[in-house]
């Protein structure tokens, strides 16, 4: 019996340590996100030449519209070029794209990845650019996006992340996905910058010094989560990542449960792989070189995703509450009050991070599907094997509401 008690107590300590710290972490950065980050003054007044790189794999449904809208920028036309990196597009799509004042780079791989497509395209288009601006095949920039990115480069930044917002909220899953991204924007981008940390990258709507990006990407060979590998390399070299909350990019949100499950499986797999790869280097960077920014990113690789954090903390807190009411568990090593506190911090953190525009009846109805989203993510934890060794394509294109 003593052995069982020791095991139970040990498990309790591990769980409250893991989830409790995660709750405190998101709470602190969520509070920070309520404030504005200090802005640098411009040190240059220069208009740079942009390569707007848009890789796409079988994105015939959306790519033509995206290409047309990418041309609509309040920035000198001769200083930015829209480059579609076409992997496995239909001939009819390629013919339509050829009629636009853009550049199309066709690529083909035995195993397609975003990093391969970007590296191949940059080897073809040459080096006559100052900035590489990366979009997904479903992204639409607001009219002043490039101008705002250029201003950040004039402030001395080499890496800038824009603010991705939802293009669509036509299904319950799309609403939840939109909210999830805004929570991450608030905590891991805006909140981090307010406290002096680097913003997290998100895979698109991001810009880099072109030559720096080309050189760095040549050493990135990720199948999935290339932005995570890139981010870790940047932070290890103490490259600060800026976040522009006012520079908006529309991004299509997940509309179906099957797509949600596939996407999250890919993200979770990449997250755990990079934690295993960088955990010990992260400790070395922290204690030997004082690189807190890098270690913070390594921690994020093992921190619970927001949906899982909310779901599991809620379930554990509820379980403790029921056991406390009916059986009394004060004799256990971990007080139920610690779980109630963790639950409260998580709820408050998310409430502060969610934009006011989402406090609607439609969101309330979408929340009813949250247990399903949690269940799908929880199941994904048991299906990660091999997920980061093959390309998992997220199909884009609006579907009917469900």
Question: Mean pLDDT across the stretch 103-128?
Answer: 93
The CA distance from 27 to 297, in Å, is: 17
Q: Is 388's pLDDT higher than 60? A: no
Q: What is the DSSP letter of 318?
A: H
Question: Residue 99: which H helix or E strand, with range?
Answer: none
Please give the CATH number for the structural domain made up of 50-266: 3.90.550.10
**CA proximity to 125, closest of 99, 103, 158, 146:** 103
Structural domain spans, the chain:
2-34+275-380, 50-266
Question: pLDDT tens digits, residue range 22-72?
Answer: 999 999 999 999 999 988 998 989 999 999 999 999 999 999 999 999 999
Q: Is 362's pLDDT higher than 80? A: yes
Q: Is 150's pLDDT higher than 60? A: yes
Q: In what order do the strands lie in the sheet with 206-209?
A: 103-107, 80-87, 50-57, 131-134, 206-209, 159-166, 241-251, 140-141
The CA distance from 391 to 271, in Å, is: 15
Distance of CA 30 to the CA centre of its chain: 16
Which span out of 109-123, 262-276, 280-294, 345-359 was modeled with the highest average pLDDT? 345-359
Q: Is 240's pLDDT higher than 70? A: yes
Q: For residue 131, name the pLDDT band (cuts at 50, 70, 90).
A: very high
| pLDDT at residue 119, rounded to an integer | 94
Q: Is 3's pLDDT higher than 90? A: no
What are the backbone dihedrals phi and psi of residue 399, each rounded to the nearest 5 degrees, phi first?
A: -110, 170
Question: Mean pLDDT across the stretch 167-189?
Answer: 92
pTM: 0.88
Which span out of 108-122, 188-202, 288-302 was modeled with the highest average pLDDT? 188-202
Q: 142-146, 258-262, 271-275 — which is least confidently predicted? A: 258-262
- Name the token pair of 320: 């403790």
**CA proximity to 232, closest of 159, 175, 166, 312:** 159
∠ CA 132-224-309, nearest 5°, is 110
């Amino acid at each position: 019996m003593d052995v069982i008690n020791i095991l139970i107590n040990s498990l309790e300590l591990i769980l409250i340590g893991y989830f409790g710290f995660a709750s405190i972490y998101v709470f602190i950065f969520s509070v920070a996100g309520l404030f504005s980050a200090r802005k640098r003054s411009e040190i240059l007044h220069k208009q740079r030449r942009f390569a707007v790189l848009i890789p796409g794999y079988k994105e015939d449904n959306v790519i033509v519209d995206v290409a047309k809208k990418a041309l609509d920028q309040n920035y000198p036309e001769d200083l930015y070029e829209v480059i579609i990196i076409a992997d496995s597009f239909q001939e009819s799509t390629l013919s339509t794209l050829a009629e636009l004042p853009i550049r199309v780079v066709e690529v083909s791989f035995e195993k397609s990845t975003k990093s391969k497509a970007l590296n191949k395209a940059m080897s073809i288009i040459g080096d006559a650019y100052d900035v590489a601006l990366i979009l997904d095949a479903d992204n639409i920039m607001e009219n002043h996006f490039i101008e705002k990115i250029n201003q950040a480069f004039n402030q001395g930044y080499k890496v800038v992340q824009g603010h991705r917002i939802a293009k669509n909220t036509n299904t319950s899953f799309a609403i939840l996905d939109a909210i999830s991204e805004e929570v991450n924007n608030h905590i891991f981008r805006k909140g981090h910058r307010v406290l002096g940390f680097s913003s997290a990258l998100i895979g698109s709507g991001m810009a880099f010094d072109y030559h720096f990006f080309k050189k760095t990407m040549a050493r990135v060979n990720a199948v999935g989560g290339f932005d995570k590998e890139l981010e870790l390399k940047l932070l290890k070299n103490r490259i600060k990542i800026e976040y522009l909350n006012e520079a908006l990019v529309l991004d299509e949100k997940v509309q179906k449960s099957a797509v949600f499950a596939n996407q999250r499986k890919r993200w979770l797999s990449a997250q755990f792989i990079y934690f295993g790869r960088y955990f010990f280097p992260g400790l070395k960077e922290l204690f030997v070189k004082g690189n807190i920014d890098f270690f913070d990113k390594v921690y994020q690789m093992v921190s619970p995703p927001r949906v899982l954090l909310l779901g599991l903390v809620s379930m554990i807190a509820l379980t403790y509450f029921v056991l406390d009411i009916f059986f009394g568990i004060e004799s256990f090593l971990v007080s139920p009050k610690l779980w109630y506190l963790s639950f409260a911090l998580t709820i408050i953190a998310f409430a502060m991070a969610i934009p006011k525009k989402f406090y609607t009846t439609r969101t309330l109805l979408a929340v009813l599907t949250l247990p399903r989203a949690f269940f799908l993510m929880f199941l994904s934890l048991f299906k990660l094997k091999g997920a980061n060794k093959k390309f998992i394509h997220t199909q884009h294109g609006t579907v009917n509401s469900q």
